[in-house]
Amino acid sequence: MKSSKAWSIGTTDIQIMPTPRHRPPSKRPIWIIVLLCLVCLSLIGAYIYPPQSFSACYFLSSNVCSPFKDWLPPEPAREYTDDELAARIVARDIISMPSVQSKNPKIAFMFLTPGSLPFEKLWEKFLLGHEERFSIYVHASKEKPVHESSLFIGRDIRSDKVSWGKISMVDAERRLLANALEDADNQHFVLLSDSCVPLHNFDYVYSYLMETNISFIDCFEDPGPHGSGRYTEHMLPEIERKDWRKGAQWFSVKRQHALLITADSLYYTKFKHYCKPGMEGHRNCYADEHYLPTLFHMVDPGGIANWSVTHVDWSEGKWHPKAYRAQDVTFELMKNISSIDETIHVTSNAKKIVMKKPCLWNGMKRPCYLFARKFYPEARDKLMHLFSNFTAF
Ligand SMILES: *[C@@H]1O[C@H](CO)[C@@H](O)[C@H](O)[C@H]1NC(C)=O
Ligand SMILES: *[C@@H]1O[C@H](CO)[C@@H](O)[C@H](O)[C@H]1NC(C)=O
Ligand SMILES: *[C@@H]1O[C@H](CO)[C@@H](O)[C@H](O)[C@H]1NC(C)=O
Ligand SMILES: *[C@@H]1O[C@H](CO)[C@@H](O)[C@H](O)[C@H]1NC(C)=O
């Protein structure tokens, strides 16, 4: 019983305290008095500073300590603001919505590019013969693209300027999603860049994305300067530091999640104001690397895979990922990338902790990647030549 224990500490304390004072010191060996004093001091200490004995419980076995733990006040539940409560219920209901049973479910391939797409012909090779099962959207932020493939003609959406690392990047992603959501047949939404190429054939990609209920959003906790270091308390109360996540921009989401991103204004606005390059003079934050991982970690952590299906090679440890030239592109390289079945995340702190996880697709270990970046335009002919071979299985 917690209360009797606390009381017995108190009473023992009072009984022992006067004892040494009333006994003539000469009749007892001095060490007993010293010992008693030490006991007294420690009991007084325990009485005056009970919280310390509680925190000590975390280091002790729980059996001894559990009665004390009950004394800790319960963590107060945060009271949501009006906007937050509204955002949370909208998110909850969108997520639990049954997916619309389209007779003709399609994948929306959404290209975020400055201008023309160097790999249009390669994508055409990938897409041809499957016209009923995909749609294409192109957001060209700098110049009007010249299309080489008829599949891409007339697929440009109204676009706006995009600045690297700024919220305009997220705006372009949302613009692509909103355009693609207009077609009720689109069930999965893949964001791609001009330097992305497919790693598998269409049927493989289609069933990989359609026959699962999760979205592939990269998400991990990085305690280092490029992770939590970019958090600011201006994000409070809605976004706490413990919820801050990081991940690559290149997502692939199911329809409910695409709707959720389009519907969100509360969290988006926080990132728009408080996550940008060169904040407070020196601190950088890039909304495209934090907004979606943090949002989904908060509203639907079990609904995302925590990895992106677009491969990129950061292993050189530079500011930019490895970019492949024509000479790098071989059957072996493409095979290597498409057979990777573990994701790797490395923290940006001094410890550089490497976190490896198997890619589990519906609970089974599977290759992680369907697409890869970054390829130089000069790699096109080699990729075209090898495509049927490395996507044969
Ligand atoms: C996805 O969810 C639907 C409905 O909740 C369910 O019927 C279906 O079996 C699920 N599919 C997979 C691959 O888990
Ligand atoms: C993704 O990570 C979260 C923890 O952040 C976890 O709850 C969730 O189950 C993970 N998703 C999958 C599909 O394993
Ligand atoms: C492919 O992977 C093997 C084994 O990991 C490695 O030895 C080889 O260098 C890789 N080749 C290319 C072209 O990346
Ligand atoms: C493609 O694969 C076939 C059979 O494995 C092989 O004979 C052919 O040389 C390969 N082509 C290229 C371009 O690698």
Give 237: exposed, middle or buried? Use CB within 10 Å, 0-12, 13-18, 19+. Answer: exposed
Atom of ligand 1 nearest to the CA of 212: 13
| 383 domain residue, yes or no | no
Cβ atoms of 137 and 108 within 8 Å: the answer is yes
Q: Looking at the domain assignment, is residue 295 inside a domain?
A: yes
Cα distances (angstroms) measured from residue 148 to each of 117, 120, 131, 152: 9, 6, 17, 8
Instruction: Tell me the best of 213, 215, 255, 360 to mutate to test the pocket of ligand 1, counting ligand atoms within 8 Å of each CB and taking the most.
Output: 213
In the chain, what is the greatest distance between 2 CA atoms, to the nearest angstrom? 107
Q: From the CA of 206, how far away is ligand 3's center (Å)?
A: 27
- CA 97 → CA 92, 184, 186, 296, 328, distances in Å? 9, 15, 16, 16, 45
Q: If you average pLDDT over residues 369-390, what whole number do you get?
A: 93
Say how far apart CA 393 and CA 376 lie, in whole Å.
25
pLDDT by residue (tens digit) across 320-361?
Answer: 899 999 999 999 999 999 999 999 998 888 888 999 999 999
Q: What pLDDT score does 33 carry?
A: 63
pLDDT digit string (tens) for 53-106?
A: 344 334 334 444 444 444 555 565 778 888 999 999 999 999 998 877 788 999
In a domain, 18, yes or no: no
Residue 46 has pLDDT above 80, yes or no: no
Domain range for 116: 82-309
Residues 27/29/35/41 CA torsion (nearest 10 deg): 40
pLDDT tens for 292-314 read 999 999 999 999 999 999 999 98
- Is the CB–ligand 2 distance for residue 301 below 6 Å? yes
Residue 95 falls inside a structural domain: yes
CATH code for position 178? 3.90.550
Beta bridge partners of 304: 215
In a domain, 159, yes or no: yes
Look at residue 219 and tell me if it is in a domain: yes
Considering the domain boundaries, does residue 140 fall inside one? Answer: yes
Q: What's the 264 CA to ligand 2 centre distance in angstroms? A: 21
- At 17-42, the pLDDT tens digits run 444 444 444 555 666 666 665 665 65
Domain count, the chain: 1
Nearest ligand, measured from the Cα of 329: 3
Residue 38 domain-assigned (yes or no): no
The tens digit of pLDDT for each residue in 218-233 reads 999 998 888 887 888 8
